[in-house]
Amino acid sequence: MKKAVIIGVGMTPVGEHWKTSLRDLAVEALLNAMDDANLDKVDSLYVGNMISGPFVEQENLGALIADWAGLGHIPAVKIEAACASGGAAVQEGAKAVMSGLEDVVAVVGVEKMTDAWPSDATRYLAYASDAEWELFHGASFVALNALVMRYYMHTYGYTEEDLALFAVNAHINGAKNPYAMFKKPIKVETVLRSPYIADPLKLFDASPVCDGAAAVIITTPEKAKELGIPKEKWVEIAGMGRAIDTINLANRKDLLRLKAAEVAAERAYKMAGIEAKDVDLFEVHDAFTIMAALSLEAVGAAERGKGAELAKEGQIAIDGDYPIQTMGGLKSRGHPVGATGVYQTVEAALQLRGEAPNQVPDAEIALTQNIGGTGSNITVTILRRV
């Protein structure tokens, strides 16, 4: 099996792009990544996207974006794994390179969500849940995560204020990210004063509905050398893991355990030959503050029930032992769902290249964790500085 390295990254700012279409967002990010790698062509394109059909009435995204970017008659396909579509697309692109079937692969994650009415957006996002056993009964993702948050606080004795610390940390970091949707630090009081959207989840416990696109270029070290890409721009995709769990919460054996993330992390660590203690920064999936706590526990950064304790101790800050959401995460940077896993990859790569606006000192290994559904489809990827 060959090795895979990221040699180019690109993004668009996350926000409400009323005057920009999905295809234009995707092509902008893709061309930015190709410019970063000094390339004018790639062998194939993988598009991470969750739900372009209902949101913008457009499918067949591989053909659309490759054509609009002027990439010619290359193979191009959309990868869908709910909110983990971006992370899954990165892994599929990496596997194509590692297999030797393709030399240079582009991966772009894109989502255009703000064109829909808020009520429709809530329903479309719930398509990633169990349609017959959850969506049919009116259970939105907000409601499902609220159930988990309530149970977590009851089981381990945490308060809403404790969980709010994850949002505060994300906004502190996002304030320094020029691509973030929200560039303003907040206080715990800001979170606690925000309105409830599903008790105990408040508005500032949740990531926003937004638009955005991010892209990476992946190749082998041999091809990168042949292309003349300087080694300081290489970031190795050292480990990958992916797993599923029950799609609905009712069938899950333990509501407070992201089993799919545990399995995915174990596989990624094994492939990379490292342990959780070797990771310098964690870009976890904080669509809701409760998911940040559970994710830290699932990837081995914290013991069970201790995820929120890391936030209380300040360990999740840039200068802590377990820095997370170093460029704002889903909460502050924004969560254009199908693009999120690619944004995480770009941000981790920038950290490892020493080019992040909020740099983790001497970062050598990063972990990205992308969640689909309420933990039903999860990717974990280990990136390493070359």
Residues assigned a catalytic role = 83, 335
Query: Distance between CA atoms of 27 and 215, rounded to whole angstroms?
Result: 9
Q: Are strands 44-48 and 235-244 parallel, antiparallel or unpaired?
A: unpaired
The order of strands in the sheet holding 104-112 is 76-79, 44-48, 104-112, 211-219, 5-11, 235-244, 377-385, 365-372, 281-283
Contacts of 328 (CB under 8 A, 6+ apart): 170, 171, 173, 174, 175, 177, 180, 182, 334
Six-digit token string for 186:
């907040």
Query: Distance between CA atoms of 47 and 66, rounded to whole angstroms?
Result: 10
Residue type at position 275: E
How far from the centroid of its chain's Cα atoms is residue 139's Cα? 23
Yes or no: say if 216 and 90 are a contact pair by the CB < 8 Å rule.
Answer: yes
Query: Distance between CA atoms of 339 and 308, rounded to whole angstroms?
Result: 26
Task: Please report which residue ranges of 73-137 form alpha helices under DSSP H.
Answer: 85-98, 118-125
Contacts of 214 (CB under 8 A, 6+ apart): 9, 10, 11, 12, 29, 86, 108, 109, 339, 342, 343, 345, 346
